């Protein structure tokens, strides 16, 4: 539960954010994605949050360095963004199509690059 751990770290470093809103958004998002696990998610989240909070209680004031606070801010931003984005469809079985498409684009760009090199060589 990265969201719970990030939330606990942010509280430890005094970062100002709405912890309850973040938790509720995360639980709603995960419940929609995994309806069978919805009943267990709040307990799992709370266990992760409490475990990280207890582990951080023993950390000194040097835990919240500028780098650590920047990482926490980034993690909170990415987490809140990821929660609000729709989940991507499963592309299992379509991998070859995507790989072929990417190879064709790469091949086209190589040809384009080679033709530009030729133009530069011929016109210089």
pLDDT in tens, 89-118: 555 555 565 556 556 655 555 556 556 656
Total domains, the chain: 2
Structural domain harbouring 99: 91-124
Tokens of 21: 């809103």
For 52, phi and psi rounded to 5 degrees? Answer: -70, -40
Instruction: Return the pLDDT at 85.
Output: 47
Confirm if 74 and 4 have CB atoms less than 8 A apart: no
Asked if 20 and 49 sit in the same domain, the reply is yes
- Per DSSP, the three-state class of 54 is helix
Asked if 36 and 73 sit in the same domain, the reply is yes
Please write the tens of the pLDDT for every residue from 46-90: 999 999 999 998 888 788 888 888 888 888 887 766 555 454 455
User: What are the b/e assignments for 24-44, b being 16+ CB within 10 Å?
Assistant: ebbbebbeeeeeeeeeebeee
Asked if 53 and 103 sit in the same domain, the reply is no
């Amino acid at each position: 539960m990265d969201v719970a751990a990030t939330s606990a770290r942010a509280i430890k470093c005094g970062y100002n954010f709405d912890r309850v809103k973040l938790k509720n958004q995360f639980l709603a998002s995960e419940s929609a994605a995994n309806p069978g696990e919805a009943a267990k998610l709040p307990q799992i989240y709370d266990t992760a949050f409490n475990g990280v909070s207890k582990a951080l209680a023993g950390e000194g004031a040097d835990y919240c360095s500028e780098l650590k606070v920047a990482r926490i801010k980034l993690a909170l931003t990415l987490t809140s963004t990821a929660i609000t984005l729709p989940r991507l469809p499963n592309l299992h079985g379509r991998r070859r199509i995507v790989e072929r498409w990417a190879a064709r684009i790469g091949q086209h760009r190589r040809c384009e690059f080679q033709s530009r090199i030729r133009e530069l060589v011929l016109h210089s």
